[in-house]
């Protein structure tokens, strides 16, 4: 059976030599993916805020929350990975939890970190956390897209063994068998498809101004995409499959999906109470 060649791209995007000491600064594609996601989200979020200049959050709010969002994503993502995916290891090696450069970030944990930042920021400045959450939700797929591409470049988080024509053998796979390039599936579904759907929904004023609607759409859309892809993604070796069928990623998507339904129900109920002619 023929397989596609894995594009052996150097995970280090830039090698910057440091004069006189014989070392170099390495900037990895993964770091650039995060940077691109944050900058793209900041620009996109500011544009979304300008669509409704009569209410907050405004562009200044988006500017001010950016550093806190970075903190929420990184801390939440790392803590989530430690708690959800490898807690016994980090109990035995607590200092390793600080070694972010060794890998290990959880989207679900990062989402919780971002939610905490959104609630705290909006409450402090006295406007609706849901309105801010809607804007942040629309920009999230940017980071997902570039993050999954970086996973692919790193040859990590690959898929399960398969015989499809586009299967690849990943250098880090100890079994060296053809596998699904599941990182690309996730970039396409969680990044491009979900991002496109949210963009179209955000262009509809009645949906954009129904606080909680876009947030709920993100939760439902991501949970459906991730739950589906997990069937062809190799489960974490330290966890395996629960009940012989479901991965940790799938289990975490279940409460996420339910929360998304709750957010949409909240948005619909709030809109009915406000009336069709009321600006939300």
Q: Please state, as a whole number, how many other Cβ atoms lie within 10 Å of the Cβ of residue 127.
A: 16
Residue 63 to residue 66: CA distance in whole angstroms: 6
pLDDT at position 280:
40
Q: What pLDDT, in 10s, does the model give residues 55-88?
A: 999 999 999 999 999 999 999 999 998 988 888 8
Q: Which of 58-62, 66-70, 102-106, 250-254 has the lowest mean pLDDT?
A: 102-106
Domain limits of the chain? 29-274
Q: Which helix (H) or strand (E) holds 26?
A: strand 23-28
Show the tokens assigned to 48.
């979304």
Q: pLDDT digit string (tens) for 177-212?
A: 999 999 999 999 999 999 999 999 999 999 999 999
Residue whose token pair is 């059976």: 1
Closest CA to 209 of 135, 125, 106: 135
Asked if pLDDT for residue 248 goes beyond 80, the answer is yes
Asked whether residue 278 carries a pLDDT value surpassing 60, the answer given is no
State the virtual CA torsion across 132, 207, 34, 55 in degrees, nearest 10: -30
| Cut 0.95: pTM above it | no
Nearest to 117 by CA among 157, 62, 78: 62
Q: How far apart are CA 246 and CA 83, in angstroms?
A: 18
């Amino acid at each position: 059976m023929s397989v596609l060649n894995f594009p052996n791209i150097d995970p280090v995007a830039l090698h910057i030599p440091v004069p006189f000491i014989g070392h170099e600064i390495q900037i990895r594609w993964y770091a650039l993916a995060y940077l691109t996601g944050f900058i793209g989200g900041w620009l996109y979020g500011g544009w979304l805020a300008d669509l409704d200049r009569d209410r907050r959050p405004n562009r200044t709010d988006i500017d001010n929350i950016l550093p806190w969002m970075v903190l929420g994503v990184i801390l939440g993502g790392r803590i989530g990975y430690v708690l959800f995916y490898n807690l016994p290891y980090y109990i035995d090696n607590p200092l390793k939890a600080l070694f972010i450069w060794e890998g290990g970030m959880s989207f679900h944990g990062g989402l919780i970190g971002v939610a905490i930042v959104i609630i705290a920021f909006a409450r402090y400045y006295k406007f609706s956390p849901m309105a801010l959450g809607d804007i942040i939700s629309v920009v999230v797929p940017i980071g997902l897209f570039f993050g999954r591409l970086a996973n692919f470049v790193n040859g990590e988080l690959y898929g399960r063994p398969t015989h499809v024509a586009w299967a690849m053998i990943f250098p880090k796979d100890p079994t060296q068998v053809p596998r699904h390039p599941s990182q690309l599936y996730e970039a396409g579904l969680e990044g491009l498809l979900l991002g496109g759907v949210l963009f179209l929904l955000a262009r509809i004023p009645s949906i954009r101004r129904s606080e909680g609607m876009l947030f709920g759409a993100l939760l439902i859309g991501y949970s459906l995409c991730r739950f589906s892809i997990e069937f062809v993604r190799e489960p974490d070796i330290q966890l395996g499959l629960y009940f012989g069928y479901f991965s940790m990623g799938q289990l975490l998507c279940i409460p996420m999906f339910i929360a998304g339904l709750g957010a949409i129900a909240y948005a619909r109920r709030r809109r009915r109470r406000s009336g069709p002619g009321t600006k939300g």
